[in-house]
Amino acid sequence: MVERLREQGVRDERVLAAMAAVPRHLFVEEALAHRAYEDTALPLGFQQTISQPFVVARMIELLAVGRPLGKTLEVGTGCGYQAAVLSHMATDVYSVERIAPLLERAKRNLRHLRLPNVRLKHADGSLGLPEAAPFDTIIVAAAGPTIPQALLDQLAPGGRLLMPVGPSWEQVLVMMERRANGFSETRLDPVRFVPLVAGVE
Ligand code: SAH
């Protein structure tokens, strides 16, 4: 999988090492485990998907250009795969998920890996995680029409946020960087993510 990521253009050795360190088959259901290292999104149940390895690597690489990830918030834990990858590069990972049974599964998946710097929380990530803010990095694994203001407010000076923005048929990754006098916005790759949904269940 890592060789394929390299061929697809992922260059950051820190990212490639983190991707190599996390066994993706532990995060997908047994019936799909033989497909865990294909470059494809796979179903998690609850109409959610585990992100495609290339997209996970690409997003983390963009966030880590020229700097460490520092204290990181992930919105949309899903099965916990991306949180595990992030844990190898960030000082602390806070990951929030709105669907309780998915979060329970992520907890079980991550327990085996013993990652002391990952904390999971059942919450609506569109509100961020005020009790742990500010964050150096915010990575959103679900798409919305706009970037929630609460997430921008919880970004530390110099911090970066990456989120898929737009309707399902034309989402792009949007990078927001907090500068001394406001935010810089960069529109990047076209992507396809499940929707960011308000409230918890
Ligand atoms: N990061 C995951 C991918 C998760 S898919 C991985 O590594 O596989 C996106 C997840 O975002 C879904 O589990 C969905 O339930 C969750 N989600 C959607 N809206 C949310 C919100 N407002 N707060 C928290 N999680 C949300």
Q: Does the C-beta of 144 come closer than 6 Å to ligand 1?
A: no
Strand pairing report for 42-45 and 182-191? unpaired
51 is an active site residue: yes
Answer whether CATH 3.40.50.150 is correct for domain 2-191.
yes
| 135 close to 154: Cβ distance less than 8 angstroms | yes
Q: Which runs of consecutive H residues, i.e. helices, occur in the chain?
A: 2-7, 13-21, 53-63, 81-87, 100-111, 149-153
What are the residues facing 71 on neighbouring strands? 92
CA distance 145 to 60: 22
Q: What's the gap in Å between 30 CA and the centre of ligand 1?
A: 21
Q: Is the CB of 78 under 6 A from ligand 1?
A: yes
pLDDT tens, residue by residue, 138-148: 999 999 999 99
Average per-residue pLDDT for the chain: 97
Distance, in Å, from the CA atom of 19 to the CA atom of 34, rounded to the nearest integer, reads 18
According to DSSP, the residues that pair with 97 across neighbouring strands are 122
Residue type (1 letter), 102:
L
pLDDT digits (tens, 9 = 90+) for 145-158: 999 999 999 999 99
CB 164 within 8 A of CB 143: yes
Q: Are 164 and 171 in contact (CB under 8 A)?
A: yes
Q: How confident is the model at residue 135 (pLDDT cuts 50, 70, 90)?
A: very high
Nearest to 194 by CA among 147, 121, 146, 141: 141
Whole-angstrom Cα distance, residue 151 to residue 126?
A: 7
Tell me what the mean pLDDT of segment 109-116 comes to. 95
Distance in angstroms (rounded) separating the CA atoms of residues 190 and 174:
10
Average pLDDT (130-135) is: 98
108 Cβ contact partners less than 8 Å away, ≥ 6 residues apart: none
pLDDT, tens digit, for every residue of 48-84? 999 999 999 999 999 999 999 999 999 999 999 999 9
Report domain extents, the chain: 2-191
| pLDDT recorded at residue 168 | 87
Nearest protein CA to atom 14 of ligand 1, as residue: 76
Distance of CA 84 to the CA centre of its chain: 10
Q: What separation in Å is there between the alpha carbon of 108 and the centre of ligand 1?
A: 17
**Nearest atom, ligand 1, residue 127 CA:** 22
